Structure formats: structure tokens, C-alpha cells
Structure 1
Amino acid sequence: MWPFATLAEAQAWQRDYRSGGHQPWHLDPERTALSFTQGYLGFESIDRITARTVNSSQARIGVAPRGSEGGTAAIIHLVRYGTGPDAPWEVVGTDDTTFTLAMPGYGSLVRSPMQTGGRITGVDESIRVQVRQPSSPKPLGTSCCTSAGGNGQPWKRSVSFSGARDRVLTVVASTGGHVAEVERFAVTAVRTG
């Protein structure tokens, strides 16, 4: 999903790193998770690590908004992309619990408009959905806002998007507004063809 669109890109980074130490943050799952959240998703207020589980091939990194009131916004799931001890970390999704993004399914072939949905536990939630691609700084589409709440209640939202050039897109659903603009989010990867 991010930051490398292909294995060839990850291998090119490995060669650059080996020859000159280029962008060492790709070897740190925490820095990669925060770069994904702040840089790619644009959730700048999410700047804390709340949990860390790392082994040789996978990592799960909890991220949260600044301040002491916000709980974990998401658990970012990363895997090593490629081979060798300097294989970079790649974000592949989120581990969702009280806020899920189940539709469209991971790896689904999609077109615009796209139906999204999942389940949410919370009070007075407002869900925003965006479609992003790594090659663009701005969302390809945004749909806001779906009111939701309760205990494990379903939510649905249609989102239109245009300008997709990358084969893999990121769908991100977020909610917030109580103590931070983004308090929880979930992501999935989809294909354009």
C-alpha cells in the first residue's frame, strides 16, 4: 500500500540505502507508521506511538493524536517488503476493532463511485471517507460526513473519485471531533485494474 508501489521500488531504495544511507526511516516501523499517518494520510495531529509489536517480518504500531486525552487512533500493520536485513517496512493496512472498514474488501477491484462500510462503536461519530494514491498529494475523492454511533453498529458511505493512475489505492475512513480532528481511522487497499 505505502510507501512503495512495487517490489522494484523497494529494491531500488535498498540499493540507494546500501550505497549512501538514503532515507533510513524505511528501516524503522515506528517512523514509517507516523510518516504514513502524517504525510500520506494528512493526519498531522497524530504524532504519538502508543503500542509496538515487532518481529523480523511484521510490525503492528499503535498511533494516537497528541495530548493525553486521545486513545489509540489505529494499529498500523506493516510487513518487510523484499529480502535481507535491510528490507524496508511497507504499510499493508490497519488492525481494526471498534471502527472497521470492511467494504470494499482488501484487494478488491473498484471503480467510482465506490461503496464503503464497516462497523463502529462510539457516541455521536462523524465518518469521513477518502480515496488516496501514493503518486498524488491530495485525495482523489472525499465523502463527508456520515453520522454513526452505538455498539458495533453498521455504517455505509458512497465515495466518488477520479484521477486514479496508481494500480493500488488507499481507502481511509476516519472519525473524530470530540478531543481531536481525527481520533480513529481504518484503511484498506484496493485495486483499479
Structure 2
Amino acid sequence: MWPFATLAQAQEWERAYRSSGHQPWHRDPEQTALAFTRGYLGFKEIDRVSQRKVSGRHARIGVAPTGHEGGTAAVIHLVRFGSGPDAPWEVVGTDDTTFSLTTPAYGSLVRSPLTVGGRISGVDESIRVEVRQLSSKAPLGTSACCISAGGDDQPWSARVSFSRASDRVLTIVASTGGHVADVERFTITAVRAG
């Protein structure tokens, strides 16, 4: 999903890293998780790691805004992309508990407009949805702001239209916040553009 669109791109970075030390943050799952959250998703206030678990080729990194009493905004799942000793970390999804994005299913083929949804626990939640691609800085589409939700493990859904999809893989991100931070929790999934 991020930061490399293909294995060839990851291998190209490995060669550049070995020859000149180019972008060493790709070797660190914490820095990669924060770069994904702050840079790609644009959640600037999420600026710290709240938890860390690395097991072999998999890492789960919790991220949160500084001073946020509620704790972790999301646990980002990363996998080593490639097989070399310097294989970079690649974001592949989030491990969801109280806020999930289950529709569309991970890896499914999508077209615009699409219905997105999942489950949420919380009080007076305000959900925003964006469709993103690696090759664009701006979202390809954003849901009407904002979807009201709340309760204990309650379903939520939204419709979102998007355009200009040129990448094969798209990222769908749903976020909620507004109580103590603009983004207090988020969840992502990867889909294929149809």
C-alpha cells in the first residue's frame, strides 16, 4: 500500500540505501508508520508512537497525537517488502478494534461511487472518509462531512465518489475526532481500482 507501489521500487530504494544511505527511515517501522500517518494521510497532529511490536517480518506500530488522553489512534500493520537484509517496511493495513473499515473487503476491485463501512464504538463520533492513491498528494474523493455514529460496536456506512484513479492500489481511510483532537482514531484498507 505505502510507500512503494511495486517490489521493483522497494529494491531500487535498497540499492540507493546501500550506495548512499538514501532515506534510512524505510528501515525503521516506527518512522515509516509516522511518515505514512503524517505525510501520506495528512494527519499532522499524530506525531508519536504509542506502542510497538515487531515479530520477524511483521510490525504493529501504534500511533497517537501528543497529549491525547484516549491513547492510540491506530495500530499500523507493516511488513518487510522484499527479502534482503535491508528490505524496507511497507504499510499493509491497520489492526482494528473499536473502529473498523470492513466494506469494501481488503484487496477487492472497486469503482466510483463506492459504499464504505464497518463498525465503531464511541460517543458522538463524526466519521470522514477519503480515497487516496500513492501517486497523488490530494485525495481522489472525500465523503460528505461527516457521518454521525456511536454506541457500542455499531455499524456505520458512507458513500464516496472518486475520480482520477491512475494507480492500481487505492487506500481508503476513515477517521473520527473532534473531541480532543481533529483525528483521534482512524482505520484503513487497500483496494484495487477497477
- Work out whether the TM-score is over 0.5: yes
**How far, CA to CA, are the matches of 1:172 and 1:68 in structure 2?**
20
**Residue 64 of structure 2 aligns with which residue?**
64
Task: Indicate if the aligned counterparts of 2:68 and 2:181 stay in contact, CA closer than 8 A.
Answer: no
Q: Which amino acid aligns with 1:121?
A: S
**How far, CA to CA, are the matches of 2:36 and 2:74 in structure 1?**
12
State the secondary structure of the residue aligned to 1:30: helix
**How far, CA to CA, are the matches of 2:133 and 2:66 in structure 1?**
26
Structure 1 residues without counterparts, runs of 5 or longer: none
Q: Is 1:7 matched with 2:32?
A: no
**How far, CA to CA, are the matches of 1:4 and 1:73 in structure 2?**
23
**How far, CA to CA, are the matches of 2:113 and 2:49 in structure 1?**
34
Alignment of 1:36-47 (within 5 A): 36-47=36-47
**Residue 16 of structure 1 aligns with which residue?**
16
Q: Which amino acid aligns with 2:39?
A: G
**Residue 116 of structure 2 aligns with which residue?**
116
Deviation digits for residues 70-107 of structure 1, max 9, x if unmatched? 41000000000001110000000000000000000000
**Residue 179 of structure 1 aligns with which residue?**
180
**Residue 167 of structure 2 aligns with which residue?**
166
Q: Is 1:155 matched with 2:187?
A: no
Name the Cα RMSD after superposition.
Answer: 0.7
Deviation digits for residues 138-164 of structure 1, max 9, x if unmatched? 000001210000000000000000010
State the secondary structure of the residue aligned to 2:17: helix
Q: Which runs of 4+ in 1 moved over 4 A?
A: none
**How far, CA to CA, are the matches of 2:25 and 2:56 in structure 1?**
16
State the secondary structure of the residue aligned to 1:59: strand
State the secondary structure of the residue aligned to 2:9: helix
**How far, CA to CA, are the matches of 2:176 and 2:76 in structure 1?**
16
**Residue 103 of structure 1 aligns with which residue?**
103
Task: Indicate if the aligned counterparts of 1:70 and 1:180 stay in contact, CA closer than 8 A.
Answer: no
Deviation digits for residues 84-140 of structure 1, max 9, x if unmatched? 110000000000000000000000000000100000000000000000001000000
**Residue 29 of structure 2 aligns with which residue?**
29
**How far, CA to CA, are the matches of 1:57 and 1:88 in structure 2?**
10
Task: Indicate if the aligned counterparts of 2:101 and 2:119 stay in contact, CA closer than 8 A.
Answer: yes
Identity %: 75
Task: Indicate if the aligned counterparts of 1:113 and 1:158 stay in contact, CA closer than 8 A.
Answer: yes
Q: TM-score, normalised by structure 2?
A: 0.98
Q: Which amino acid aligns with 2:101?
A: L
Q: Which amino acid aligns with 1:107?
A: G
State the secondary structure of the residue aligned to 2:129: strand
**How far, CA to CA, are the matches of 1:167 and 1:68 in structure 2?**
35
